[in-house]
Amino acid sequence: MITGAGSGFGKDASLALAARGHRVIATTETDEQADLLRAEAPQLTVERVDITTDDVNKASTWDIDVLINNAGAGQTGPMADVPLDRVRRLFEVNVFGTLAVTQRVLRGMVAKGSGRVMIVSSIAGVVAGQTIGPYAMTKHALEAMGKAMRAELAPQGIDVTMLNPGPYQTGFNDRMAGTMWEWFGADALNAPSAPLFKSIGEMVLGAQLDPSEVTQKMVELTEAETTTFNNFVPPDISPQLASLLER
Protein backbone atom coordinates (compact mmCIF):
# COMPACT_ATOMS: atom_id res chain seq x y z
CA MET A 1 0.00 0.00 0.00
CA ILE A 2 1.35 3.40 -1.01
CA THR A 3 -0.22 6.65 0.19
CA GLY A 4 -0.04 9.84 -1.81
CA ALA A 5 0.14 7.90 -5.08
CA GLY A 6 -1.66 10.48 -7.19
CA SER A 7 1.63 12.04 -8.29
CA GLY A 8 5.36 12.23 -7.64
CA PHE A 9 7.25 9.55 -5.75
CA GLY A 10 4.09 7.67 -4.80
CA LYS A 11 2.82 7.33 -8.33
CA ASP A 12 6.22 6.40 -9.76
CA ALA A 13 6.85 3.80 -7.06
CA SER A 14 3.39 2.29 -7.54
CA LEU A 15 4.05 1.78 -11.24
CA ALA A 16 7.58 0.47 -10.68
CA LEU A 17 6.53 -2.06 -8.04
CA ALA A 18 3.56 -3.25 -10.10
CA ALA A 19 5.91 -3.78 -13.05
CA ARG A 20 7.98 -6.06 -10.82
CA GLY A 21 4.97 -8.24 -10.07
CA HIS A 22 3.81 -6.77 -6.76
CA ARG A 23 0.13 -6.21 -6.07
CA VAL A 24 -0.05 -2.50 -5.31
CA ILE A 25 -2.85 -0.63 -3.57
CA ALA A 26 -2.19 2.94 -4.66
CA THR A 27 -4.11 5.49 -2.60
CA THR A 28 -4.87 9.08 -3.48
CA GLU A 29 -6.17 12.07 -1.56
CA THR A 30 -9.11 12.79 -3.90
CA ASP A 31 -11.58 10.96 -6.10
CA GLU A 32 -10.37 12.95 -9.10
CA GLN A 33 -6.80 11.72 -8.60
CA ALA A 34 -8.09 8.16 -8.16
CA ASP A 35 -10.09 8.28 -11.40
CA LEU A 36 -7.11 9.61 -13.36
CA LEU A 37 -4.77 6.96 -11.95
CA ARG A 38 -7.22 4.12 -12.62
CA ALA A 39 -7.52 5.22 -16.23
CA GLU A 40 -3.77 5.50 -16.65
CA ALA A 41 -2.71 2.39 -14.75
CA PRO A 42 -5.33 -0.39 -14.65
CA GLN A 43 -2.67 -2.73 -13.23
CA LEU A 44 -2.99 -0.90 -9.92
CA THR A 45 -5.69 -1.22 -7.28
CA VAL A 46 -6.56 2.44 -6.70
CA GLU A 47 -8.43 3.70 -3.65
CA ARG A 48 -9.15 7.16 -2.33
CA VAL A 49 -7.64 7.47 1.14
CA ASP A 50 -7.41 10.97 2.57
CA ILE A 51 -5.24 10.19 5.58
CA THR A 52 -6.69 13.10 7.59
CA THR A 53 -10.18 11.54 7.53
CA ASP A 54 -11.95 8.31 8.41
CA ASP A 55 -10.79 7.01 5.01
CA VAL A 56 -7.89 5.50 6.95
CA ASN A 57 -10.26 2.88 8.36
CA LYS A 58 -10.27 1.18 4.94
CA ALA A 59 -6.68 0.13 5.57
CA SER A 60 -7.80 -2.09 8.45
CA THR A 61 -9.55 -4.37 5.97
CA TRP A 62 -6.57 -4.92 3.66
CA ASP A 63 -3.84 -7.54 4.09
CA ILE A 64 -0.76 -5.34 3.71
CA ASP A 65 2.80 -6.68 3.65
CA VAL A 66 4.50 -3.32 3.05
CA LEU A 67 3.12 0.13 3.83
CA ILE A 68 4.84 3.09 2.16
CA ASN A 69 3.81 6.30 3.90
CA ASN A 70 4.41 8.78 1.12
CA ALA A 71 1.51 11.24 1.45
CA GLY A 72 2.55 14.64 2.70
CA ALA A 73 2.20 18.41 2.48
CA GLY A 74 4.64 21.30 2.54
CA GLN A 75 4.87 24.78 4.02
CA THR A 76 7.65 27.35 4.06
CA GLY A 77 8.14 30.66 5.78
CA PRO A 78 9.84 32.34 8.75
CA MET A 79 8.95 30.75 12.08
CA ALA A 80 8.30 34.15 13.67
CA ASP A 81 5.43 34.83 11.28
CA VAL A 82 3.99 31.57 9.95
CA PRO A 83 0.26 31.32 10.80
CA LEU A 84 -0.39 28.64 13.38
CA ASP A 85 -3.34 27.27 11.46
CA ARG A 86 -0.98 26.41 8.61
CA VAL A 87 1.41 24.65 10.98
CA ARG A 88 -1.45 22.72 12.56
CA ARG A 89 -2.68 21.62 9.14
CA LEU A 90 0.82 20.50 8.22
CA PHE A 91 1.00 18.34 11.35
CA GLU A 92 -2.48 16.93 10.61
CA VAL A 93 -1.28 15.63 7.26
CA ASN A 94 2.38 14.77 7.76
CA VAL A 95 2.31 13.48 11.33
CA PHE A 96 -1.17 12.64 12.62
CA GLY A 97 -2.44 11.38 9.26
CA THR A 98 0.66 9.22 8.80
CA LEU A 99 0.31 7.81 12.31
CA ALA A 100 -3.41 7.14 11.82
CA VAL A 101 -3.05 5.09 8.65
CA THR A 102 0.00 3.28 10.05
CA GLN A 103 -1.91 2.24 13.17
CA ARG A 104 -4.68 0.77 11.03
CA VAL A 105 -2.26 -1.22 8.87
CA LEU A 106 -0.24 -2.40 11.86
CA ARG A 107 -3.24 -4.25 13.27
CA GLY A 108 -2.95 -6.77 10.47
CA MET A 109 0.84 -6.87 10.50
CA VAL A 110 1.00 -7.54 14.23
CA ALA A 111 -1.62 -10.28 13.92
CA LYS A 112 0.44 -12.16 11.32
CA GLY A 113 3.81 -11.32 12.85
CA SER A 114 5.40 -9.74 9.78
CA GLY A 115 5.49 -6.61 7.67
CA ARG A 116 7.41 -3.49 6.79
CA VAL A 117 6.54 0.17 7.27
CA MET A 118 8.44 2.69 5.18
CA ILE A 119 8.06 6.35 6.15
CA VAL A 120 9.01 8.94 3.55
CA SER A 121 10.69 11.60 5.65
CA SER A 122 13.15 14.06 4.11
CA ILE A 123 16.61 15.43 4.54
CA ALA A 124 14.61 18.06 6.45
CA GLY A 125 13.93 15.35 9.02
CA VAL A 126 17.51 15.63 10.26
CA VAL A 127 18.49 19.20 9.34
CA ALA A 128 16.55 22.46 9.43
CA GLY A 129 17.21 25.97 8.22
CA GLN A 130 15.75 29.24 7.10
CA THR A 131 12.27 29.10 5.54
CA ILE A 132 11.82 25.32 5.89
CA GLY A 133 11.16 25.34 9.64
CA PRO A 134 7.46 24.38 9.50
CA TYR A 135 8.08 21.46 7.15
CA ALA A 136 11.20 20.34 9.03
CA MET A 137 9.25 20.30 12.30
CA THR A 138 6.86 17.69 10.92
CA LYS A 139 9.61 15.58 9.39
CA HIS A 140 11.60 15.64 12.65
CA ALA A 141 8.44 14.36 14.35
CA LEU A 142 8.22 11.51 11.83
CA GLU A 143 11.83 10.59 12.58
CA ALA A 144 10.96 10.25 16.28
CA MET A 145 7.84 8.25 15.46
CA GLY A 146 9.78 5.91 13.19
CA LYS A 147 12.60 5.39 15.65
CA ALA A 148 10.18 4.46 18.43
CA MET A 149 8.19 2.14 16.15
CA ARG A 150 11.32 0.41 14.85
CA ALA A 151 12.33 -0.52 18.40
CA GLU A 152 8.81 -1.46 19.49
CA LEU A 153 7.86 -3.55 16.47
CA ALA A 154 11.08 -5.41 15.67
CA PRO A 155 10.34 -8.13 18.27
CA GLN A 156 6.97 -8.66 16.53
CA GLY A 157 8.56 -9.30 13.14
CA ILE A 158 7.80 -5.85 11.71
CA ASP A 159 10.51 -3.66 10.19
CA VAL A 160 10.28 0.15 10.20
CA THR A 161 12.54 2.22 7.98
CA MET A 162 12.86 5.87 6.92
CA LEU A 163 13.48 7.22 3.42
CA ASN A 164 15.16 10.65 3.41
CA PRO A 165 15.15 12.27 -0.05
CA GLY A 166 16.88 15.51 -0.86
CA PRO A 167 15.38 17.99 -3.36
CA TYR A 168 13.91 16.11 -6.33
CA GLN A 169 12.05 17.37 -9.37
CA THR A 170 8.51 16.15 -8.70
CA GLY A 171 6.77 19.53 -8.41
CA PHE A 172 6.41 19.17 -4.63
CA ASN A 173 9.29 21.48 -3.76
CA ASP A 174 8.13 24.10 -6.25
CA ARG A 175 4.67 24.13 -4.69
CA MET A 176 6.09 24.22 -1.16
CA ALA A 177 8.44 27.11 -1.97
CA GLY A 178 5.47 29.19 -3.05
CA THR A 179 3.34 28.58 0.03
CA MET A 180 4.95 31.29 2.16
CA TRP A 181 4.03 33.96 -0.39
CA GLU A 182 0.37 33.03 -0.03
CA TRP A 183 0.32 34.61 3.43
CA PHE A 184 3.59 36.51 3.84
CA GLY A 185 1.93 39.38 1.98
CA ALA A 186 2.85 42.03 -0.54
CA ASP A 187 4.46 44.23 2.09
CA ALA A 188 6.84 41.41 2.99
CA LEU A 189 8.14 41.30 -0.56
CA ASN A 190 9.79 44.64 0.18
CA ALA A 191 11.04 43.69 3.64
CA PRO A 192 14.83 43.50 4.23
CA SER A 193 14.59 39.72 4.71
CA ALA A 194 12.67 39.05 1.46
CA PRO A 195 15.76 38.73 -0.80
CA LEU A 196 17.25 36.18 1.60
CA PHE A 197 14.10 34.05 1.62
CA LYS A 198 13.85 34.22 -2.16
CA SER A 199 17.50 33.27 -2.65
CA ILE A 200 17.22 30.24 -0.38
CA GLY A 201 14.20 29.02 -2.31
CA GLU A 202 15.98 29.56 -5.62
CA MET A 203 19.01 27.57 -4.42
CA VAL A 204 16.89 24.57 -3.45
CA LEU A 205 14.75 24.65 -6.59
CA GLY A 206 17.79 25.09 -8.80
CA ALA A 207 19.45 21.95 -7.44
CA GLN A 208 16.61 19.45 -7.90
CA LEU A 209 17.48 15.93 -9.00
CA ASP A 210 16.02 13.12 -11.12
CA PRO A 211 13.24 11.49 -9.04
CA SER A 212 13.95 8.06 -10.53
CA GLU A 213 16.68 7.69 -7.88
CA VAL A 214 14.05 7.84 -5.15
CA THR A 215 11.75 5.43 -6.98
CA GLN A 216 14.60 2.94 -7.25
CA LYS A 217 15.34 3.27 -3.53
CA MET A 218 11.68 2.71 -2.68
CA VAL A 219 11.74 -0.51 -4.69
CA GLU A 220 14.99 -1.61 -3.03
CA LEU A 221 13.65 -0.97 0.48
CA THR A 222 10.39 -2.74 -0.31
CA GLU A 223 12.20 -5.90 -1.41
CA ALA A 224 15.21 -5.84 0.95
CA GLU A 225 15.72 -8.61 3.49
CA THR A 226 16.79 -6.05 6.10
CA THR A 227 16.97 -2.27 6.26
CA THR A 228 18.84 0.50 8.01
CA PHE A 229 16.82 3.14 9.84
CA ASN A 230 17.73 6.20 7.73
CA ASN A 231 18.20 5.94 3.97
CA PHE A 232 19.41 9.17 2.35
CA VAL A 233 18.93 9.75 -1.37
CA PRO A 234 21.35 10.64 -2.80
CA PRO A 235 23.61 9.06 -0.15
CA ASP A 236 25.85 12.13 0.17
CA ILE A 237 23.05 14.70 0.48
CA SER A 238 23.17 15.06 4.28
CA PRO A 239 26.53 16.88 4.62
CA GLN A 240 25.87 18.89 1.45
CA LEU A 241 22.54 20.27 2.58
CA ALA A 242 23.68 20.75 6.17
CA SER A 243 26.47 22.96 4.88
CA LEU A 244 24.02 24.94 2.74
CA LEU A 245 21.59 25.53 5.58
CA GLU A 246 24.34 26.72 7.93
CA ARG A 247 25.25 29.64 5.65
Question: In a 10 Å sphere around its CB, with 0-12 CB exposed, 13-18 middle and 19+ buried, how is residue 232 labelled?
Answer: buried
Q: Which is catalytic among the residues 9, 70, 135, 168?
A: 135
Contact 109, 101 (CB under 8 A): no
Peptide bond into 234 cis (omega under 30): yes
Beta carbons within 10 angstroms of residue 244's beta carbon: 14
Q: What is the 3-state secondary structure (H, E, C) of 188-239?
A: HHHCCCHHHHHHHHHHHHHCCECCHHHHHHHHHHHHCCCCCCEEEECCCHHH
Closest by CA position to 206, among listed 166, 167, 180: 167
* 168 included as an active-site residue: no
In angstroms, rounded to a whole number, what is the distance separating the alpha carbons of residues 41 and 241?
Answer: 35
Please choose, from the candidates 48, 141, 58, 37, the residue with its C-alpha nearest in 3D space to the C-alpha of residue 92.
141
Ranges of H-type helices in 77-180: 84-91, 98-112, 133-153, 172-179
Which residue numbers are catalytic?
135
